[in-house]
Amino acid sequence: MRELVVSHRHPVPEIGAALWTLEEARRRTHESVTGLFDPDVAPAGLNAIGTLLYHIAAIELDWLFTEVRQEDFPDEAARWFPVDVRDEAGRLSAVVGETVQHHLDRLGWVRALLLDTFEHMTVDDFVRPRSLPRYDVTPQWVLAHLALHESNHKGQILTLRTLQGRAVRRD
Residues 33-84 pLDDT 10s: 998 788 999 999 999 999 999 999 999 999 999 999 999 999 999 999 999 9
Tens digits of residue pLDDT in 5-34: 666 778 899 999 999 999 999 999 999 999
Residue 104 lies in a domain: yes
Residue 58 lies in a domain: yes
Q: Is pLDDT at 134 greater than 80 in this prediction?
A: yes
CATH of residue 119: 1.20.120.450
pTM of the predicted model, to two decimals? 0.94
Q: Is pLDDT at 149 greater than 70 in this prediction?
A: yes
Report how many domains make up the chain: 1
User: What is d(CA 37, CA 35) in angstroms, rounded to the nearest whole number?
Assistant: 7
Nearest-10 crossing angle of helices 13-32, 139-163: 10
Residue 34 lies in a domain: no
User: What is d(CA 156, CA 105) in angstroms, rounded to the nearest whole number?
Assistant: 20
Range list of H helices, 63-99? 77-80
